[in-house]
C-alpha cells in the first residue's frame, strides 16, 4: 500500500471518528510524519473515550502498543490475561440487532464485540485458563447458531491460538483474518476455520501463480476440472474427509456404496486418477485445492 492509499485510509478513519471530512495540502511534513500525525489524531478521537475503539485500533495495527498501553488502566483492561480472538464474516451487511445479540451472549464486561466494517465483527473473549480446542469450537458454534436462529444472519467464523497478553492481540487478529481468507479459498462451504488446522491450505496459499498453473497443467488442468459437476466435487471432498473410506462416505453422504463407486469411476475415466489409491488421492486433493485457489482469486 503506497502513501496515498495509506493517507486516504487514515483520513477515512478520522472522518468516522469526528464526522468531519479532512484534506491535506501544502504540508511541510514528510510522508511518514504525515501518516504519524493522522494516527495521533485518530488515537485522540477514538481511543480516549472508547474501550471498543481502543481494541479496534490496536487489533488492526493502527496504533502502537506503547500508545494503547497508556489506556489500559483507564478502561480496567488487564495486560496479562488469556484471550481468544474470533473473527466473524457475513455474506451481507449485518444490522445493529446482530451486534446487540452478540453482546447479550457475552455478559462478562471484559469481553468485547468490535464492529470492524459492515460485514465483519471481531470478538475478544477472556478466559481464566487456556481453553481447549473443543471449548473454542463449542463457543464458536453457539455464536453462529444464535445469529442464525435469532438474527436470521448467516456468518462464518475463524480463530487462531489463544494469547496470554494484550500485546499479542494484533498477531492473533491477523491469524484470524488469514484463516478466513484461506478457509474461503480452499473450503468455501466451511463454517468454522481454525488457523492451526489449515496446514496444507496455509502452504498452498503462498504458492506463486506460475507454480499453481504448472502443477495443474501437469496433473489435472483447469479446463478439465471445470467440467466436473458440484455433486462430484462434494463427493470427493467427503471421500477425503472420511479417510478414503467408501463405507463411511456413503453413510455420511446418504448415497449407496455402488453409486459412490460409479461416481469415482467416472472421475477416474475423465482425469486418469483413481482417488481410491493413496498417491492419486493426494494429487487430486492438491489439484482441487489449487483449482479453488484459482477460482476464488
Q: Is the dihedral of CA 12, 17, 18, 19 positive or negative?
A: positive
- Mean pLDDT, residues 85-100 taken together: 93
What is the tens place of the pLDDT at every residue in 20-66? Answer: 888 887 778 888 888 888 887 776 665 556 788 889 889 998 888 98
- φ, ψ dihedrals at 26, nearest 5°: 50, 45
pLDDT of residue 194: 96
| Whole-number average pLDDT of the chain | 89
pLDDT of residue 58: 92
Alpha helices in 187-277 (DSSP H): 199-204, 209-218, 222-225, 230-241, 246-253, 257-271
C-alpha grid cell for residue 219? 496433473
d(CA 266, CA 244): 17
- Mean pLDDT, residues 121-134 taken together: 95
CATH architecture assigned to 80-202: 2-Layer Sandwich (3.30)
CATH architecture assigned to 207-295: Orthogonal Bundle (1.10)
Extents of the domains making up the chain: 3-68, 80-202, 207-295
pLDDT higher than threshold 80 for residue 137? yes
Amino acid at each position: 500500500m503506497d502513501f496515498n492509499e495509506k493517507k486516504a485510509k487514515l483520513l477515512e478513519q478520522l472522518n468516522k471518528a469526528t464526522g468531519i471530512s479532512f484534506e491535506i495540502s501544502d504540508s511541510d511534513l514528510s510522508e511518514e510524519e504525515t501518516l504519524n500525525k493522522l494516527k495521533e489524531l485518530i488515537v485522540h478521537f477514538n481511543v480516549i473515550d472508547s474501550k471498543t475503539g481502543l481494541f479496534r485500533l490496536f487489533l488492526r495495527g493502527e496504533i502502537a502498543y506503547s500508545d494503547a498501553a497508556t489506556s489500559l488502566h483507564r478502561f480496567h483492561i488487564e495486560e496479562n490475561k488469556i484471550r481468544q480472538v474470533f473473527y466473524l464474516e457475513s455474506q451481507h451487511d449485518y444490522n445493529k440487532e446482530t451486534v446487540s445479540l452478540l453482546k447479550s451472549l457475552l455478559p462478562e464486561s471484559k469481553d468485547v464485540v468490535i464492529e470492524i466494517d459492515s460485514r465483519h465483527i471481531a470478538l475478544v473473549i477472556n478466559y481464566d485458563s487456556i481453553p481447549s480446542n473443543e471449548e473454542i469450537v463449542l463457543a464458536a458454534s453457539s455464536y453462529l447458531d444464535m445469529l442464525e436462529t435469532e438474527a436470521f444472519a448467516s456468518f462464518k467464523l475463524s480463530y487462531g491460538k489463544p494469547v496470554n497478553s494484550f500485546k499479542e492481540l494484533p498477531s492473533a487478529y491477523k491469524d484470524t483474518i488469514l484463516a478466513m481468507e484461506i478457509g474461503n479459498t480452499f473450503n468455501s462451504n466451511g463454517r468454522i476455520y481454525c488457523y492451526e488446522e489449515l496446514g496444507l491450505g496455509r502452504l498452498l496459499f503462498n504458492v506463486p501463480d506460475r507454480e499453481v498453473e504448472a502443477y495443474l497443467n501437469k496433473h489435472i488442468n483447469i479446463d478439465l476440472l471445470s467440467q466436473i459437476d458440484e455433486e462430484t466435487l462434494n463427493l470427493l471432498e467427503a471421500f477425503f474427509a472420511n479417510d478414503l473410506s467408501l463405507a463411511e462416505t456413503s453413510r455420511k453422504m446418504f448415497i449407496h456404496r455402488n453409486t459412490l463407486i460409479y461416481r469415482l469411476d467416472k472421475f477416474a475415466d475423465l482425469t486418469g486418477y483413481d482417488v481410491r489409491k493413496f498417491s492419486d488421492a493426494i494429487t487430486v486433493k492438491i489439484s482441487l485445492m489449487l483449482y479453488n485457489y484459482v477460482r476464488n482469486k
